[in-house]
C-alpha cells in the first residue's frame, strides 16, 4: 500500500514539474552594442550558463534563430552573435544586415571579450560558465577564441579546422592571398592561403571547395604552420564533430591534428567522426541537400541524429554544476 501511495505521489510530482517547465516561456532580448545579436533564456532571473552560437559562412542570424530557443529550453543563456553578412554587391543577393561586415576579412575574435562584459550586466546570464557552439567558420572562430581566453569553459566545434584560413569578399577578387579571415586585438592573424578561390567563385556551385583548401595548404606549408590554431593553449572541454566525406574542407583530418596537438600537451579531446557524412552536421533536423556538404542526405541525417544527444550531454556535463 505504501509503495502504491509513494508511486502516485511521484507521478503527480512529475506531472507538476513537467507542467511548470512547459509554462516557462523562452524570451529573447537584444544585446547592447552588438547589432542583431540576441540572448534567449527561459523567463526569470535565474543565472544560466552562456552558450554563444557562432554561425558559419552563411552569416546572418539564421543559426541563432534556429538554435537559440532550443538551447534556451535546455536551460542556457543562448546568444546568437551575427558577425558577418555576405555582401557581394551586384554579384549576389543584398546582405541580410548591411551594417555588419560584408566580407569575411579580419573578423575580430576579441569581440567575444566585449560581449562577455555586456552579458555580465544582463539578468539571467552567468558569464562564469561560458561555452561556444560553432560550425565550420564558426568552429574556426571558437577554437581561436578558446586558445586565447581562459574563461571559455566548453566548446562544441562542428566540422572544424586546425588552421586559420584566408579571408574572402568582393574586394579580394583582385587581391587573392592577401587577407586573413580573423583578427585579434586589431592585428590580422596568420592565415593559410587558398588555391583557385577566384576560379571557384566563377565556377559557382560546381567549385571544388575542398580542393581549394587542401591545395592551398599544400602550396604553403610554412604559412599553414604559422596559421595553426594553438589548441593546446585551450585547457577547457572540447567536443569535435566531423564527417569523413566533407566536401568543403578536410574536417576529419583537422580533428586528428587537433587531438594530437592537445594530447601532446596532456589535454583530452572528445571527438566523433562519421566516415560517410559530409560538412552539414549541426542539429538533429531532417536530411538536407548534400550537394555542397558532401556525404549523402541519409548519412548526414544519421550523423546529426547520433551527434545531437552527445552535444546535449556534453554541454550539460561541462557547463552545469
Per-residue pLDDT tens for 28-44?
Answer: 999 999 999 999 999 99
For residue 242, the number of C-alpha atoms closer than 13 Å in the C-beta half-sphere is 28
Task: Locate 179 and state its grid cell.
Answer: 587577407
DSSP SS3 for 269:
coil
> Which tens digit of pLDDT belongs to each residue from 236-280?
999 999 999 999 999 999 999 999 999 999 999 999 999 999 999
* Cβ atoms of residues 53 and 40 within 8 Å: no
DSSP secondary structure of 74-132: TT-EEEE--------GGGSPPPS-TTS-SSBSSEETTHHHHHHHHHHTSTTEEEEEEEE
Residue 108 CA from chain centroid, whole number = 15
pLDDT value of residue 24: 78
**Could you tell me how many residues make up the chain?**
321
Q: What is the pTM of this model?
A: 0.92
Which residues are CB-contacts of 23 (< 8 A; sequence separation ≥ 6)? none
Dist. CA 269–CA 116, nearest whole Å:
25
Cα–Cα distance for residue pair 271/260, rounded to 1 Å: 12
Give pLDDT, residue 12: 34
pLDDT of residue 287: 61
pLDDT digit string, tens, across residues 130-171: 999 999 999 999 999 999 999 999 999 999 999 999 999 998
Nearest to 51 by CA among 73, 35, 65, 71: 71
- Residue 9: predicted pLDDT: 32
Segments of 136-186 assigned E as strands: 154-158, 182-184
β-partners of residue 270 are: 239
Question: How many angstroms separate the CA atoms of 161 and 176, rounded?
Answer: 20
Contact 103, 168 (CB under 8 A): yes
Phi, psi (rounded to 5 degrees) for 56: -95, -150
- Quick one: which H or E segment has residue 8? helix 2-23
DSSP 8-state class, residue 275 = T
pLDDT at residue number 67: 97
Residue 271, strand partner residues: 240
Mean pLDDT value across residues 174-201: 94
Averaged over 163-192, what is the pLDDT?
95
In angstroms, the Cα distances linking 279 to 60, 195, 249 are: 19, 20, 8
Counting Cβ atoms within 10 Å, is residue 16 exposed (0-12), middle (13-18) or buried (19+)? Answer: exposed
How large is the average pLDDT for residues 176-183?
96
- Beta carbons of 236 and 155 less than 8 angstroms apart: yes
Identify the three-state secondary structure at position 58. coil
Amino acid at each position: 500500500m505504501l509503495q502504491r501511495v509513494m508511486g502516485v505521489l511521484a507521478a503527480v510530482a512529475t506531472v507538476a514539474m513537467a507542467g511548470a517547465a512547459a509554462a516557462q516561456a523562452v524570451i529573447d532580448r537584444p544585446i547592447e552594442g552588438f547589432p542583431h545579436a540576441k540572448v534567449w533564456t527561459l523567463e526569470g532571473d535565474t543565472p544560466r550558463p552562456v552558450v554563444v552560437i557562432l554561425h558559419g559562412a552563411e552569416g546572418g542570424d539564421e543559426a541563432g534563430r534556429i538554435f537559440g530557443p532550443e538551447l534556451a529550453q535546455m536551460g542556457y543563456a543562448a546568444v546568437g552573435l551575427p558577425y558577418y553578412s555576405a555582401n557581394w554587391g551586384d554579384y549576389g543577393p543584398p546582405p541580410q544586415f548591411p551594417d555588419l561586415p560584408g566580407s569575411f576579412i579580419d573578423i575580430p575574435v576579441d569581440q567575444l571579450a566585449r560581449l562577455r562584459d555586456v552579458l555580465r550586466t544582463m539578468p539571467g546570464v552567468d558569464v562564469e560558465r561560458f561555452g561556444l557552439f560553432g560550425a565550420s567558420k564558426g568552429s574556426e572562430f571558437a577554437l581561436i577564441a578558446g586558445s586565447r581566453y581562459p574563461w571559455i569553459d566548453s566548446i562544441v566545434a562542428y566540422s572544424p579546422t586546425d588552421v586559420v584560413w584566408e579571408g574572402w569578399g568582393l574586394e579580394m577578387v583582385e587581391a587573392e592571398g592577401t587577407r586573413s579571415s580573423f583578427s585579434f586585438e586589431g592585428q590580422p592573424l596568420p592565415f593559410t592561403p587558398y588555391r583557385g578561390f577566384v576560379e571557384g567563385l566563377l565556377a559557382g556551385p560546381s567549385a571544388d571547395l575542398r580542393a581549394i583548401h587542401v591545395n592551398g595548404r599544400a602550396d604553403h606549408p610554412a604559412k599553414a604552420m604559422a596559421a595553426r590554431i594553438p589548441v593546446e593553449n585551450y585547457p577547457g572541454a572540447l567536443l569535435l564533430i566531423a564527417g569523413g566525406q566533407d566536401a568543403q574542407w578536410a574536417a576529419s583530418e583537422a580533428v586528428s591534428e587537433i587531438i594530437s596537438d592537445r594530447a601532446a600537451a596532456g589535454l583530452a579531446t572528445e571527438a566523433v567522426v562519421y566516415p560517410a557524412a559530409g560538412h552539414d552536421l549541426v542539429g538533429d533536423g531532417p536530411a538536407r541537400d548534400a550537394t555542397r556538404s558532401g556525404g549523402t542526405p541519409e548519412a548526414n541525417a544519421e550523423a546529426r541524429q547520433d551527434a545531437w544527444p552527445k552535444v546535449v550531454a556534453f554541454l550539460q556535463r561541462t557547463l552545469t554544476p
